[in-house]
Structure 1
Protein backbone atom coordinates (compact mmCIF):
# COMPACT_ATOMS: atom_id res chain seq x y z
CA UNK A 1 0.00 0.00 0.00
CA UNK A 2 4.26 3.25 0.58
CA UNK A 3 7.24 5.30 1.61
CA UNK A 4 4.21 7.12 2.88
CA UNK A 5 4.38 8.30 6.49
CA UNK A 6 0.98 7.52 7.75
CA UNK A 7 1.19 9.36 11.01
CA UNK A 8 4.84 8.73 11.84
CA UNK A 9 4.67 11.91 13.84
CA UNK A 10 1.56 10.89 15.73
CA UNK A 11 3.32 10.54 19.01
CA UNK A 12 5.03 13.91 18.62
CA UNK A 13 2.29 15.93 17.05
CA UNK A 14 -0.91 14.67 18.58
CA UNK A 15 -0.04 14.23 22.23
CA UNK A 16 -3.19 14.21 24.31
CA UNK A 17 -5.40 16.82 22.73
CA UNK A 18 -7.98 18.55 24.81
CA UNK A 19 -11.62 18.98 23.89
CA UNK A 20 -11.96 19.63 20.20
CA UNK A 21 -14.42 22.03 18.65
CA UNK A 22 -16.91 20.26 16.36
CA UNK A 23 -15.59 22.22 13.40
CA UNK A 24 -12.05 21.03 14.13
CA UNK A 25 -13.23 17.43 14.51
CA UNK A 26 -15.05 17.57 11.18
CA UNK A 27 -12.03 19.17 9.52
CA UNK A 28 -9.81 16.46 10.97
CA UNK A 29 -12.16 13.76 9.70
CA UNK A 30 -12.18 15.30 6.23
CA UNK A 31 -8.38 15.38 6.25
CA UNK A 32 -8.23 11.71 7.24
CA UNK A 33 -10.64 10.72 4.46
CA UNK A 34 -8.56 12.72 2.00
CA UNK A 35 -5.37 11.13 3.27
CA UNK A 36 -6.77 7.61 2.91
CA UNK A 37 -8.15 8.25 -0.55
CA UNK A 38 -4.91 9.87 -1.67
CA UNK A 39 -2.89 6.89 -0.49
CA UNK A 40 -5.11 4.30 -2.16
CA UNK A 41 -5.47 6.26 -5.40
CA UNK A 42 -1.68 6.60 -5.38
CA UNK A 43 -1.35 2.83 -5.08
CA UNK A 44 -3.82 2.33 -7.93
CA UNK A 45 -1.94 4.82 -10.14
CA UNK A 46 1.29 3.03 -9.28
CA UNK A 47 -0.25 -0.26 -10.44
CA UNK A 48 -0.77 1.28 -13.88
CA UNK A 49 3.02 1.47 -14.23
CA UNK A 50 3.63 -2.17 -13.24
CA UNK A 51 3.49 -3.55 -16.82
CA UNK A 52 6.32 -1.22 -17.86
CA UNK A 53 8.73 -0.94 -14.91
CA UNK A 54 7.32 -3.51 -12.49
CA UNK A 55 6.67 -3.11 -8.76
CA UNK A 56 10.39 -2.76 -7.99
CA UNK A 57 10.78 0.19 -10.35
CA UNK A 58 7.67 1.88 -9.00
CA UNK A 59 8.70 1.37 -5.39
CA UNK A 60 12.17 2.75 -6.10
CA UNK A 61 10.72 5.96 -7.54
CA UNK A 62 8.31 6.24 -4.61
CA UNK A 63 11.08 5.72 -2.08
CA UNK A 64 13.06 8.53 -3.68
CA UNK A 65 10.07 10.86 -3.61
CA UNK A 66 9.37 9.98 0.03
CA UNK A 67 13.02 10.56 0.97
CA UNK A 68 12.92 14.05 -0.53
CA UNK A 69 9.61 14.86 1.18
CA UNK A 70 10.65 13.62 4.61
CA UNK A 71 14.13 15.09 4.51
CA UNK A 72 12.58 18.46 3.70
CA UNK A 73 10.06 18.13 6.52
CA UNK A 74 12.21 16.50 9.19
CA UNK A 75 15.65 18.00 8.47
CA UNK A 76 17.41 15.37 10.58
CA UNK A 77 20.80 16.26 12.07
CA UNK A 78 22.44 13.09 10.86
CA UNK A 79 25.93 13.94 12.09
CA UNK A 80 24.70 14.27 15.66
CA UNK A 81 23.02 10.83 15.75
CA UNK A 82 24.54 8.40 18.24
CA UNK A 83 24.97 4.67 17.66
CA UNK A 84 21.96 4.00 19.91
CA UNK A 85 19.87 6.30 17.70
CA UNK A 86 21.16 4.93 14.40
CA UNK A 87 20.35 1.29 15.22
CA UNK A 88 16.53 1.62 15.26
CA UNK A 89 16.69 4.12 12.39
CA UNK A 90 18.52 1.58 10.21
CA UNK A 91 16.02 -1.07 11.24
CA UNK A 92 13.20 1.27 10.25
CA UNK A 93 14.87 1.88 6.88
CA UNK A 94 14.97 -1.86 6.14
CA UNK A 95 11.32 -2.17 7.19
CA UNK A 96 10.37 0.74 4.89
CA UNK A 97 12.10 -0.90 1.95
CA UNK A 98 10.68 -4.39 2.55
CA UNK A 99 7.15 -3.23 3.41
CA UNK A 100 6.58 -1.25 0.26
CA UNK A 101 8.15 -3.79 -2.06
CA UNK A 102 6.20 -6.72 -0.60
CA UNK A 103 2.93 -4.77 -0.62
CA UNK A 104 3.28 -3.51 -4.19
CA UNK A 105 4.28 -6.93 -5.47
CA UNK A 106 1.24 -8.34 -3.66
CA UNK A 107 -0.99 -5.67 -5.25
CA UNK A 108 0.25 -6.75 -8.68
CA UNK A 109 -0.63 -10.38 -7.95
CA UNK A 110 -3.81 -10.32 -5.83
CA UNK A 111 -5.24 -6.83 -6.26
CA UNK A 112 -5.32 -3.66 -4.19
CA UNK A 113 -8.24 -4.42 -1.88
CA UNK A 114 -7.11 -7.87 -0.76
CA UNK A 115 -3.46 -6.85 -0.36
CA UNK A 116 -4.23 -3.81 1.79
CA UNK A 117 -6.72 -5.78 3.91
CA UNK A 118 -4.20 -8.51 4.69
CA UNK A 119 -1.57 -5.87 5.45
CA UNK A 120 -3.81 -4.51 8.20
CA UNK A 121 -3.29 -7.73 10.13
CA UNK A 122 0.08 -6.26 11.18
CA UNK A 123 -1.18 -3.49 13.47
CA UNK A 124 -4.03 -5.72 14.62
CA UNK A 125 -1.53 -8.36 15.78
CA UNK A 126 0.51 -5.76 17.66
CA UNK A 127 -2.64 -4.39 19.30
CA UNK A 128 -3.72 -7.87 20.42
CA UNK A 129 -0.29 -9.24 21.41
CA UNK A 130 -0.10 -10.17 25.04
CA UNK A 131 -3.72 -9.25 25.75
CA UNK A 132 -5.84 -11.47 27.97
CA UNK A 133 -9.14 -9.67 27.49
CA UNK A 134 -12.11 -11.51 26.03
CA UNK A 135 -12.82 -8.63 23.65
CA UNK A 136 -9.36 -8.91 22.13
CA UNK A 137 -9.65 -12.68 21.87
CA UNK A 138 -12.93 -12.17 20.01
CA UNK A 139 -11.23 -9.68 17.66
CA UNK A 140 -8.44 -12.15 16.96
CA UNK A 141 -10.85 -15.01 16.22
CA UNK A 142 -13.02 -12.81 13.99
CA UNK A 143 -9.98 -11.58 12.03
CA UNK A 144 -8.66 -15.13 11.68
CA UNK A 145 -12.01 -16.31 10.31
CA UNK A 146 -12.06 -13.40 7.87
CA UNK A 147 -8.55 -14.24 6.65
CA UNK A 148 -9.64 -17.85 6.05
CA UNK A 149 -12.50 -16.54 3.91
CA UNK A 150 -10.22 -14.17 1.98
CA UNK A 151 -7.58 -16.82 1.33
CA UNK A 152 -9.91 -19.79 0.78
CA UNK A 153 -8.69 -22.11 -1.97
CA UNK A 154 -10.02 -21.24 -5.41
CA UNK A 155 -8.74 -21.93 -8.92
CA UNK A 156 -7.45 -18.36 -9.11
CA UNK A 157 -5.90 -18.22 -5.61
CA UNK A 158 -2.39 -16.73 -5.72
CA UNK A 159 -0.64 -18.02 -2.61
CA UNK A 160 2.68 -16.22 -3.26
CA UNK A 161 0.73 -12.96 -3.52
CA UNK A 162 -1.06 -13.70 -0.23
CA UNK A 163 2.30 -14.50 1.36
CA UNK A 164 3.74 -11.17 0.20
CA UNK A 165 0.77 -9.29 1.65
CA UNK A 166 1.29 -11.09 4.97
CA UNK A 167 4.98 -10.15 4.81
CA UNK A 168 3.89 -6.52 4.42
CA UNK A 169 1.70 -7.01 7.50
CA UNK A 170 4.69 -8.32 9.47
CA UNK A 171 6.71 -5.31 8.33
CA UNK A 172 3.94 -2.98 9.52
CA UNK A 173 4.01 -4.65 12.93
CA UNK A 174 7.80 -4.22 13.08
CA UNK A 175 7.38 -0.60 12.02
CA UNK A 176 5.11 0.10 14.99
CA UNK A 177 7.58 -1.43 17.45
CA UNK A 178 10.61 0.27 15.88
CA UNK A 179 8.82 3.61 15.62
CA UNK A 180 8.19 3.48 19.38
CA UNK A 181 11.94 3.24 19.96
CA UNK A 182 12.83 5.83 17.33
CA UNK A 183 10.28 8.28 18.75
CA UNK A 184 11.77 7.87 22.22
CA UNK A 185 15.32 8.52 21.03
CA UNK A 186 14.86 11.24 18.42
CA UNK A 187 12.61 14.33 18.41
CA UNK A 188 9.95 15.15 15.84
CA UNK A 189 10.18 13.29 12.54
CA UNK A 190 13.98 13.23 12.43
CA UNK A 191 14.03 9.45 12.85
CA UNK A 192 11.54 8.59 10.08
CA UNK A 193 13.18 11.19 7.83
CA UNK A 194 16.59 9.62 8.31
CA UNK A 195 15.12 6.14 7.76
CA UNK A 196 13.45 7.30 4.54
CA UNK A 197 16.74 8.74 3.33
CA UNK A 198 18.61 5.48 4.03
CA UNK A 199 15.83 3.48 2.38
CA UNK A 200 16.01 5.74 -0.66
CA UNK A 201 19.77 5.17 -0.85
CA UNK A 202 19.24 1.40 -0.66
CA UNK A 203 16.98 1.64 -3.70
CA UNK A 204 19.43 3.71 -5.78
CA UNK A 205 21.37 0.74 -7.26
CA UNK A 206 18.27 -1.50 -7.38
CA UNK A 207 16.10 1.14 -9.03
CA UNK A 208 18.83 2.19 -11.46
CA UNK A 209 19.33 -1.43 -12.55
CA UNK A 210 15.61 -2.04 -13.01
CA UNK A 211 15.04 1.19 -14.92
CA UNK A 212 18.07 0.44 -17.11
CA UNK A 213 16.72 -2.96 -18.14
CA UNK A 214 13.10 -1.79 -18.24
CA UNK A 215 13.23 1.79 -19.57
CA UNK A 216 10.19 3.71 -18.36
CA UNK A 217 7.82 5.30 -20.81
CA UNK A 218 6.83 8.91 -20.04
CA UNK A 219 3.41 7.66 -18.89
CA UNK A 220 4.88 5.05 -16.55
CA UNK A 221 7.30 7.56 -15.06
CA UNK A 222 4.52 10.06 -14.48
CA UNK A 223 2.43 7.33 -12.81
CA UNK A 224 5.30 6.38 -10.49
CA UNK A 225 6.02 10.01 -9.58
CA UNK A 226 2.32 10.71 -9.07
CA UNK A 227 2.08 7.69 -6.80
CA UNK A 228 4.98 9.02 -4.76
CA UNK A 229 3.26 12.37 -4.31
CA UNK A 230 -0.20 10.95 -3.62
CA UNK A 231 1.05 8.27 -1.23
CA UNK A 232 3.86 10.24 0.42
CA UNK A 233 3.61 14.03 0.29
CA UNK A 234 -0.17 14.48 0.42
CA UNK A 235 -0.90 11.94 3.20
CA UNK A 236 2.07 13.13 5.26
CA UNK A 237 0.80 16.70 5.29
CA UNK A 238 -2.86 15.68 5.72
CA UNK A 239 -2.05 13.36 8.64
CA UNK A 240 -0.02 16.01 10.45
CA UNK A 241 -2.86 18.51 10.08
CA UNK A 242 -5.47 15.93 11.10
CA UNK A 243 -3.55 14.97 14.25
CA UNK A 244 -3.79 18.60 15.39
CA UNK A 245 -7.57 18.37 15.27
CA UNK A 246 -8.45 14.86 16.48
CA UNK A 247 -7.16 12.62 19.31
CA UNK A 248 -4.47 10.11 18.34
CA UNK A 249 -6.68 7.12 19.23
CA UNK A 250 -9.47 8.41 16.96
CA UNK A 251 -6.91 8.71 14.17
CA UNK A 252 -5.90 5.10 14.77
CA UNK A 253 -9.50 3.90 14.69
CA UNK A 254 -10.37 5.83 11.56
CA UNK A 255 -7.42 4.49 9.57
CA UNK A 256 -9.10 1.07 9.70
CA UNK A 257 -11.32 2.30 6.87
CA UNK A 258 -8.35 2.04 4.48
CA UNK A 259 -9.06 -1.56 3.37
CA UNK A 260 -12.54 -0.46 2.32
CA UNK A 261 -11.13 2.55 0.46
CA UNK A 262 -8.56 0.28 -1.19
CA UNK A 263 -11.23 -2.17 -2.34
CA UNK A 264 -13.39 0.67 -3.70
CA UNK A 265 -10.48 2.34 -5.51
CA UNK A 266 -9.35 -1.03 -6.88
CA UNK A 267 -12.84 -1.59 -8.27
CA UNK A 268 -13.21 1.87 -9.81
CA UNK A 269 -9.67 2.51 -11.10
CA UNK A 270 -8.32 -0.98 -11.77
CA UNK A 271 -11.55 -2.95 -12.29
CA UNK A 272 -10.47 -5.41 -9.57
CA UNK A 273 -13.78 -6.78 -8.36
CA UNK A 274 -14.30 -8.73 -5.14
CA UNK A 275 -17.12 -11.16 -4.42
CA UNK A 276 -19.65 -10.68 -1.62
CA UNK A 277 -17.84 -12.98 0.81
CA UNK A 278 -14.60 -11.03 0.33
CA UNK A 279 -16.38 -7.74 1.06
CA UNK A 280 -17.86 -9.28 4.21
CA UNK A 281 -14.41 -10.50 5.30
CA UNK A 282 -12.94 -7.01 4.73
CA UNK A 283 -15.70 -5.52 6.88
CA UNK A 284 -14.94 -8.01 9.67
CA UNK A 285 -11.21 -7.16 9.64
CA UNK A 286 -11.97 -3.43 9.66
CA UNK A 287 -14.31 -3.94 12.63
CA UNK A 288 -11.70 -6.05 14.46
CA UNK A 289 -9.04 -3.36 13.92
CA UNK A 290 -11.35 -0.59 15.10
CA UNK A 291 -12.46 -2.54 18.18
CA UNK A 292 -8.91 -3.49 19.15
CA UNK A 293 -7.66 0.10 18.81
CA UNK A 294 -10.69 1.51 20.64
CA UNK A 295 -10.35 -0.75 23.67
CA UNK A 296 -6.56 -0.44 23.74
CA UNK A 297 -6.81 3.36 23.57
CA UNK A 298 -9.17 3.78 26.52
CA UNK A 299 -6.39 4.22 29.10
CA UNK A 300 -4.93 7.00 26.93
CA UNK A 301 -4.08 7.83 23.32
CA UNK A 302 -1.28 5.77 21.84
CA UNK A 303 1.07 6.85 19.08
CA UNK A 304 1.41 3.23 18.06
CA UNK A 305 -2.01 3.40 16.47
CA UNK A 306 -0.59 5.51 13.68
CA UNK A 307 -0.24 4.33 10.11
CA UNK A 308 3.09 3.17 8.80
CA UNK A 309 5.56 4.95 6.66
CA UNK A 310 4.55 4.30 3.16
Structure 2
Protein backbone atom coordinates (compact mmCIF):
# COMPACT_ATOMS: atom_id res chain seq x y z
CA UNK A 1 0.00 0.00 0.00
CA UNK A 2 2.84 2.39 0.82
CA UNK A 3 4.58 1.49 -2.43
CA UNK A 4 1.40 2.16 -4.37
CA UNK A 5 1.03 5.65 -2.93
CA UNK A 6 4.70 6.47 -3.47
CA UNK A 7 4.56 5.28 -7.08
CA UNK A 8 1.49 7.41 -7.76
CA UNK A 9 3.08 10.60 -6.43
CA UNK A 10 6.45 9.99 -8.06
CA UNK A 11 4.53 9.50 -11.31
CA UNK A 12 2.82 12.87 -10.83
CA UNK A 13 6.16 14.58 -10.22
CA UNK A 14 7.67 12.95 -13.31
CA UNK A 15 4.65 14.15 -15.28
CA UNK A 16 5.33 17.69 -14.11
CA UNK A 17 8.79 17.49 -15.67
CA UNK A 18 7.12 17.11 -19.09
CA UNK A 19 4.75 20.08 -18.64
CA UNK A 20 7.13 22.66 -20.22
CA UNK A 21 7.12 20.66 -23.48
CA UNK A 22 3.73 18.91 -23.63
CA UNK A 23 1.69 20.92 -21.14
CA UNK A 24 -0.69 19.25 -18.68
CA UNK A 25 -3.13 18.38 -21.47
CA UNK A 26 -0.56 16.46 -23.50
CA UNK A 27 0.74 14.60 -20.45
CA UNK A 28 -2.77 13.68 -19.31
CA UNK A 29 -3.59 12.37 -22.77
CA UNK A 30 -0.61 10.02 -22.69
CA UNK A 31 -1.47 8.94 -19.15
CA UNK A 32 -5.08 8.20 -20.11
CA UNK A 33 -3.90 6.06 -23.02
CA UNK A 34 -1.61 4.06 -20.73
CA UNK A 35 -4.43 3.64 -18.19
CA UNK A 36 -6.79 2.45 -20.94
CA UNK A 37 -4.32 -0.15 -22.20
CA UNK A 38 -3.64 -1.46 -18.67
CA UNK A 39 -7.26 -1.61 -17.53
CA UNK A 40 -8.62 -3.05 -20.77
CA UNK A 41 -5.89 -5.70 -20.66
CA UNK A 42 -6.92 -6.78 -17.16
CA UNK A 43 -10.66 -6.08 -17.27
CA UNK A 44 -11.40 -7.40 -20.78
CA UNK A 45 -14.80 -5.63 -20.99
CA UNK A 46 -17.44 -7.24 -23.18
CA UNK A 47 -18.83 -3.92 -24.35
CA UNK A 48 -21.18 -5.41 -26.93
CA UNK A 49 -23.10 -7.08 -24.13
CA UNK A 50 -23.54 -3.88 -22.07
CA UNK A 51 -27.11 -2.66 -21.61
CA UNK A 52 -28.17 0.99 -21.59
CA UNK A 53 -28.45 0.88 -17.80
CA UNK A 54 -24.85 -0.34 -17.63
CA UNK A 55 -23.51 2.14 -20.18
CA UNK A 56 -24.88 5.22 -18.38
CA UNK A 57 -22.66 5.02 -15.27
CA UNK A 58 -19.73 3.80 -17.39
CA UNK A 59 -19.94 6.88 -19.64
CA UNK A 60 -20.32 9.15 -16.61
CA UNK A 61 -17.26 7.51 -15.07
CA UNK A 62 -15.32 8.08 -18.30
CA UNK A 63 -16.11 11.80 -18.21
CA UNK A 64 -15.03 11.92 -14.57
CA UNK A 65 -11.75 10.16 -15.46
CA UNK A 66 -11.07 12.67 -18.23
CA UNK A 67 -11.92 15.72 -16.13
CA UNK A 68 -10.29 14.62 -12.87
CA UNK A 69 -6.81 13.96 -14.18
CA UNK A 70 -6.73 17.07 -16.37
CA UNK A 71 -7.90 19.26 -13.47
CA UNK A 72 -5.34 17.72 -11.11
CA UNK A 73 -2.38 17.97 -13.49
CA UNK A 74 -3.22 21.55 -14.43
CA UNK A 75 -3.48 22.37 -10.72
CA UNK A 76 -0.10 20.72 -10.09
CA UNK A 77 1.37 22.92 -12.82
CA UNK A 78 -0.03 26.04 -11.13
CA UNK A 79 0.11 25.46 -7.36
CA UNK A 80 2.50 22.56 -6.85
CA UNK A 81 2.16 18.85 -6.20
CA UNK A 82 1.67 18.87 -2.43
CA UNK A 83 -1.08 21.49 -2.29
CA UNK A 84 -2.92 20.12 -5.35
CA UNK A 85 -3.02 16.53 -4.06
CA UNK A 86 -4.00 17.64 -0.55
CA UNK A 87 -6.94 19.67 -1.84
CA UNK A 88 -7.94 16.82 -4.16
CA UNK A 89 -8.03 14.54 -1.13
CA UNK A 90 -11.03 16.48 0.15
CA UNK A 91 -13.09 14.41 -2.32
CA UNK A 92 -12.80 11.04 -0.59
CA UNK A 93 -12.89 12.76 2.80
CA UNK A 94 -16.24 14.35 1.91
CA UNK A 95 -17.61 11.01 0.74
CA UNK A 96 -16.49 9.39 4.00
CA UNK A 97 -18.18 12.11 6.05
CA UNK A 98 -21.32 12.62 3.96
CA UNK A 99 -24.52 11.70 5.72
CA UNK A 100 -22.80 10.95 9.02
CA UNK A 101 -24.21 12.42 12.21
CA UNK A 102 -21.50 11.22 14.55
CA UNK A 103 -19.69 13.87 16.57
CA UNK A 104 -16.32 12.42 15.60
CA UNK A 105 -17.06 12.90 11.90
CA UNK A 106 -18.39 16.40 12.49
CA UNK A 107 -15.18 17.26 14.31
CA UNK A 108 -13.13 15.83 11.43
CA UNK A 109 -15.05 17.98 8.97
CA UNK A 110 -14.55 21.16 11.03
CA UNK A 111 -10.85 20.48 11.54
CA UNK A 112 -10.30 19.69 7.85
CA UNK A 113 -12.18 22.84 6.81
CA UNK A 114 -9.93 24.93 9.07
CA UNK A 115 -6.84 23.33 7.56
CA UNK A 116 -8.10 24.06 4.03
CA UNK A 117 -8.57 27.72 4.96
CA UNK A 118 -4.94 27.79 6.06
CA UNK A 119 -3.82 26.25 2.76
CA UNK A 120 -5.78 28.70 0.59
CA UNK A 121 -5.26 31.80 2.75
CA UNK A 122 -4.63 34.94 0.68
CA UNK A 123 -0.96 35.55 -0.10
CA UNK A 124 0.80 37.50 -2.84
CA UNK A 125 1.55 34.23 -4.63
CA UNK A 126 -1.89 32.65 -4.19
CA UNK A 127 -3.13 31.11 -7.46
CA UNK A 128 -6.91 30.94 -7.11
CA UNK A 129 -7.53 29.32 -10.52
CA UNK A 130 -5.07 26.58 -9.53
CA UNK A 131 -6.87 26.11 -6.21
CA UNK A 132 -10.19 25.97 -8.04
CA UNK A 133 -8.87 23.27 -10.38
CA UNK A 134 -7.63 21.20 -7.43
CA UNK A 135 -11.06 21.49 -5.81
CA UNK A 136 -12.66 20.45 -9.11
CA UNK A 137 -10.41 17.38 -9.03
CA UNK A 138 -11.66 16.74 -5.48
CA UNK A 139 -15.28 16.86 -6.66
CA UNK A 140 -14.41 14.46 -9.47
CA UNK A 141 -12.68 12.07 -7.05
CA UNK A 142 -15.77 12.00 -4.85
CA UNK A 143 -17.94 11.35 -7.92
CA UNK A 144 -15.48 8.65 -9.01
CA UNK A 145 -15.96 6.77 -5.74
CA UNK A 146 -19.75 6.90 -5.98
CA UNK A 147 -19.87 6.05 -9.68
CA UNK A 148 -17.36 3.25 -9.29
CA UNK A 149 -19.60 1.72 -6.67
CA UNK A 150 -22.57 1.87 -9.04
CA UNK A 151 -20.54 0.44 -11.91
CA UNK A 152 -19.34 -2.37 -9.66
CA UNK A 153 -22.93 -3.24 -8.81
CA UNK A 154 -24.04 -3.36 -12.45
CA UNK A 155 -21.03 -5.01 -14.08
CA UNK A 156 -18.87 -7.94 -12.99
CA UNK A 157 -15.20 -7.68 -12.09
CA UNK A 158 -13.24 -4.84 -13.66
CA UNK A 159 -15.30 -4.63 -16.84
CA UNK A 160 -16.96 -1.33 -15.97
CA UNK A 161 -13.78 0.47 -14.91
CA UNK A 162 -11.94 -0.91 -17.94
CA UNK A 163 -14.66 0.27 -20.33
CA UNK A 164 -14.70 3.72 -18.71
CA UNK A 165 -10.92 3.99 -19.02
CA UNK A 166 -11.14 2.97 -22.68
CA UNK A 167 -13.80 5.60 -23.43
CA UNK A 168 -11.76 8.23 -21.57
CA UNK A 169 -8.69 7.29 -23.60
CA UNK A 170 -10.70 7.61 -26.81
CA UNK A 171 -11.91 11.06 -25.75
CA UNK A 172 -8.29 12.15 -25.49
CA UNK A 173 -7.26 10.76 -28.89
CA UNK A 174 -8.14 13.84 -31.00
CA UNK A 175 -7.09 16.33 -28.31
CA UNK A 176 -3.84 14.53 -27.60
CA UNK A 177 -3.05 14.19 -31.30
CA UNK A 178 -3.48 17.95 -31.82
CA UNK A 179 -1.35 18.79 -28.78
CA UNK A 180 1.43 16.45 -29.88
CA UNK A 181 1.24 17.87 -33.42
CA UNK A 182 1.45 21.49 -32.25
CA UNK A 183 4.04 20.73 -29.57
CA UNK A 184 6.32 17.99 -30.92
CA UNK A 185 7.55 16.06 -27.90
CA UNK A 186 11.18 15.61 -27.15
CA UNK A 187 12.33 12.10 -26.32
CA UNK A 188 12.76 13.08 -22.67
CA UNK A 189 9.29 14.65 -22.40
CA UNK A 190 7.60 11.66 -24.04
CA UNK A 191 9.49 9.30 -21.76
CA UNK A 192 8.37 11.30 -18.72
CA UNK A 193 4.75 11.21 -19.87
CA UNK A 194 4.88 7.45 -20.47
CA UNK A 195 6.60 6.93 -17.12
CA UNK A 196 3.86 8.97 -15.44
CA UNK A 197 1.25 6.71 -16.99
CA UNK A 198 3.03 3.59 -15.76
CA UNK A 199 3.88 4.92 -12.28
CA UNK A 200 0.54 6.66 -11.64
CA UNK A 201 -1.75 4.13 -13.33
CA UNK A 202 -0.28 0.68 -14.01
CA UNK A 203 1.86 0.20 -10.88
CA UNK A 204 -0.73 1.49 -8.35
CA UNK A 205 -3.48 -0.49 -10.05
CA UNK A 206 -1.59 -3.77 -9.79
CA UNK A 207 -0.30 -3.00 -6.29
CA UNK A 208 -3.82 -2.16 -5.11
CA UNK A 209 -5.17 -5.44 -6.46
CA UNK A 210 -2.53 -7.36 -4.51
CA UNK A 211 -3.03 -5.28 -1.36
CA UNK A 212 -6.81 -5.63 -1.36
CA UNK A 213 -6.43 -9.41 -1.36
CA UNK A 214 -4.66 -9.13 1.96
CA UNK A 215 -6.29 -6.25 3.88
CA UNK A 216 -9.87 -4.99 4.41
CA UNK A 217 -11.07 -2.15 2.16
CA UNK A 218 -11.49 0.33 5.05
CA UNK A 219 -7.93 -0.36 6.21
CA UNK A 220 -6.77 0.30 2.65
CA UNK A 221 -8.67 3.60 2.78
CA UNK A 222 -6.77 4.64 5.89
CA UNK A 223 -3.44 4.05 4.18
CA UNK A 224 -4.56 6.23 1.27
CA UNK A 225 -4.15 9.14 3.67
CA UNK A 226 -0.40 8.98 3.17
CA UNK A 227 -0.74 10.37 -0.38
CA UNK A 228 -0.76 14.10 0.50
CA UNK A 229 2.33 13.61 2.65
CA UNK A 230 4.04 11.70 -0.14
CA UNK A 231 3.03 14.43 -2.60
CA UNK A 232 4.53 17.19 -0.46
CA UNK A 233 7.77 15.26 0.09
CA UNK A 234 8.13 14.20 -3.54
CA UNK A 235 7.33 17.76 -4.68
CA UNK A 236 10.10 18.99 -2.40
CA UNK A 237 12.70 16.42 -3.45
CA UNK A 238 11.95 16.10 -7.17
CA UNK A 239 10.48 19.48 -8.14
CA UNK A 240 12.00 21.75 -5.48
CA UNK A 241 8.56 22.90 -4.29
CA UNK A 242 8.76 24.06 -0.66
CA UNK A 243 5.54 24.39 1.36
CA UNK A 244 5.80 26.83 4.25
CA UNK A 245 5.50 25.54 7.86
CA UNK A 246 1.80 26.48 8.09
CA UNK A 247 1.07 24.51 4.91
CA UNK A 248 2.93 21.47 6.25
CA UNK A 249 0.83 21.66 9.41
CA UNK A 250 -2.39 21.99 7.42
CA UNK A 251 -1.47 19.00 5.25
CA UNK A 252 -0.83 16.94 8.39
CA UNK A 253 -4.19 17.99 9.87
CA UNK A 254 -6.10 17.01 6.70
CA UNK A 255 -4.31 13.65 6.62
CA UNK A 256 -5.19 13.07 10.29
CA UNK A 257 -8.85 14.01 9.69
CA UNK A 258 -9.07 11.63 6.75
CA UNK A 259 -7.40 8.85 8.75
CA UNK A 260 -9.89 9.22 11.61
CA UNK A 261 -12.86 9.44 9.24
CA UNK A 262 -11.77 6.40 7.22
CA UNK A 263 -10.88 4.42 10.32
CA UNK A 264 -14.28 4.92 11.93
CA UNK A 265 -16.41 4.79 8.76
CA UNK A 266 -19.02 2.11 8.26
CA UNK A 267 -17.98 -0.60 5.77
CA UNK A 268 -20.47 0.60 3.13
CA UNK A 269 -18.99 4.11 3.12
CA UNK A 270 -15.44 2.92 2.49
CA UNK A 271 -14.33 3.58 -1.08
CA UNK A 272 -11.02 2.87 -2.71
CA UNK A 273 -10.98 6.03 -4.75
CA UNK A 274 -7.94 5.11 -6.83
CA UNK A 275 -7.57 7.45 -9.79
CA UNK A 276 -6.65 5.57 -12.96
TM-score where L is the length of structure 2: 0.98
What is the Cα deviation at residue 81 of structure 1?
0.4
- Within the alignment, does 1:258 sit opposite 2:224 as a pair? no
The match for 2:214 among 242, 245, 248 is: 245
- Within the alignment, does 1:173 sit opposite 2:142 as a pair? yes
The match for 1:305 among 266, 271, 275 is: 271
Task: Describe the SS at the equivalent of 1:52.
Answer: helix
What is the Cα deviation at residue 63 of structure 1?
0.3
The match for 1:193 among 139, 162, 180 is: 162
- Within the alignment, does 1:148 sit opposite 2:117 as a pair? yes
Please, which runs of 5 or more residues in structure 1 have no aligned partner? 1-31
Q: What is the number of equivalent residue pairs in this alignment?
A: 276
Please, which runs of 5 or more residues in structure 2 have no aligned partner? none
8 Å CA contact 2:95–2:269 kept in 1: the answer is: no
8 Å CA contact 2:262–2:270 kept in 1: the answer is: no
- Within the alignment, does 1:69 sit opposite 2:35 as a pair? no
Aligned to 1:132: 101
What is the Cα deviation at residue 128 of structure 1?
1.1
Q: Distance in 1 between matches of 2:88 and 2:74?
A: 12
Task: Describe the SS at the equivalent of 1:113.
Answer: helix
Q: Deviation per CA, 1:101-153, whole angstroms, max 9, x where unpaired? A: 00000000000000000000001111111211111110010000000000000
- Within the alignment, does 1:33 sit opposite 2:10 as a pair? no
What is the Cα deviation at residue 304 of structure 1?
3.9
Aligned to 1:121: 90
Q: Distance in 1 between matches of 2:143 and 2:7?
A: 24
> RMSD of aligned C-alpha atoms?
0.9
8 Å CA contact 2:225–2:255 kept in 1: the answer is: yes
- Within the alignment, does 1:236 sit opposite 2:205 as a pair? yes
TM-score where L is the length of structure 1: 0.88
Task: Describe the SS at the equivalent of 2:265.
Answer: helix
What is the Cα deviation at residue 35 of structure 1?
0.5
- Within the alignment, does 1:97 sit opposite 2:63 as a pair? no
What is the Cα deviation at residue 303 of structure 1?
7.2
Q: Distance in 1 between matches of 2:55 and 2:157?
A: 15
The match for 1:111 among 80, 96, 120 is: 80
What is the Cα deviation at residue 246 of structure 1?
1.0
**Stretches of 4+ moved more than 2 A in 1?**
301-305, 307-310
Task: Describe the SS at the equivalent of 2:167.
Answer: helix
Q: Distance in 2 between matches of 1:213 and 1:266?
A: 28
Instruction: Judging by fraction of residues, say which structure has more helix.
Output: 2
